[in-house]
């Protein structure tokens, strides 16, 4: 899987680079960068992993009770809660289904804990969550759901 990173906002696309960044709209800003994301199996391990790898849960969509065509994707950073201080915090979380970008959630160190939940219109597939720590870079977890 090829990683293409936007040189302006850090957004990552998989395999194919769109002309404009899907987050910041910069033109032709994607550059191939295999080291753009720390993935399970390519991480330093230990406490750094526990504080940075997204911890994903895919549940029935409680925003829309009884929904059969959407799921609620919850992601927490991480298994041990990551700090949210002005000098060290989670800047954003990007959500994907089957490696197609869905949306970015920006986080405030003053007002957010390191977590987000989004309602995604899908019954099955693979969810990817990438999070960016202002000090330690971008980390990714994937999880299959449904089917
Ligand atoms: Fe960090």
- Give distance in angstroms: CA of 72 to centre of ligand 1: 26
Digit-coded pLDDT (tens) for 111-130: 999 999 999 999 999 999 99
- Give distance in angstroms: CA of 135 to centre of ligand 1: 5
What is the C-alpha to C-alpha distance for residues 69 and 71, in angstroms, rounded to an integer?
Answer: 7
Average pLDDT over residues 95-120: 98
Mean pLDDT of the chain: 96
- Give distance in angstroms: CA of 139 to centre of ligand 1: 10
pTM for this prediction: 0.95
- Give distance in angstroms: CA of 63 to centre of ligand 1: 30
At 40, is the pLDDT very low, low, confident or very high (cuts 50, 70, 90)? confident
- Give distance in angstroms: CA of 89 to centre of ligand 1: 6
Identify the pLDDT of residue 147: 77
Identify the pLDDT of residue 114: 98
Higher pLDDT, 88 or 42: 88
- Give distance in angstroms: CA of 49 to centre of ligand 1: 10
Average pLDDT over residues 11-26: 96
What is the C-alpha to C-alpha distance for residues 68 and 85, in angstroms, rounded to an integer?
Answer: 39
- Give distance in angstroms: CA of 26 to centre of ligand 1: 26
pLDDT at 31 over 90: yes
What is the C-alpha to C-alpha distance for residues 30 and 5, in angstroms, rounded to an integer?
Answer: 5
At 25, is the pLDDT very low, low, confident or very high (cuts 50, 70, 90)? very high
Task: List the single range of 33-42, 70-79, 112-121 with lowest mean pLDDT.
Answer: 33-42
- Please state the domain extents for the chain: 1-36, 39-145
CATH no. for 39-145: 2.60.40.730
* Nearest residue to 135 via CA among 79, 77, 94, 95: 77
- Give distance in angstroms: CA of 121 to centre of ligand 1: 30
């Amino acid at each position: 899987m090829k990683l293409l990173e936007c040189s302006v906002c850090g957004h990552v696309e998989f395999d194919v680079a769109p002309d404009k960044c899907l987050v910041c709209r910069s033109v032709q800003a994607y550059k191939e960068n295999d080291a753009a994301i720390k993935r399970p199996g390519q991480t330093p391990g230990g406490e750094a992993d526990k504080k940075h790898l997204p911890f994903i849960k895919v549940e029935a969509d409680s925003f829309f009770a009884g929904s059969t065509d959407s799921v609620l994707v919850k992601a927490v950073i991480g298994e041990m809660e990551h700090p949210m201080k002005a000098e060290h915090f989670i800047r954003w979380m990007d959500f994907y289904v089957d490696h197609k970008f869905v949306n970015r959630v920006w986080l405030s160190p003053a007002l957010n804990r390191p977590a987000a939940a989004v309602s995604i219109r899908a019954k099955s597939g693979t969810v990817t969550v990438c999070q960016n720590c202002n000090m330690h870079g971008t980390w990714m977890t994937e999880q299959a759901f449904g089917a």
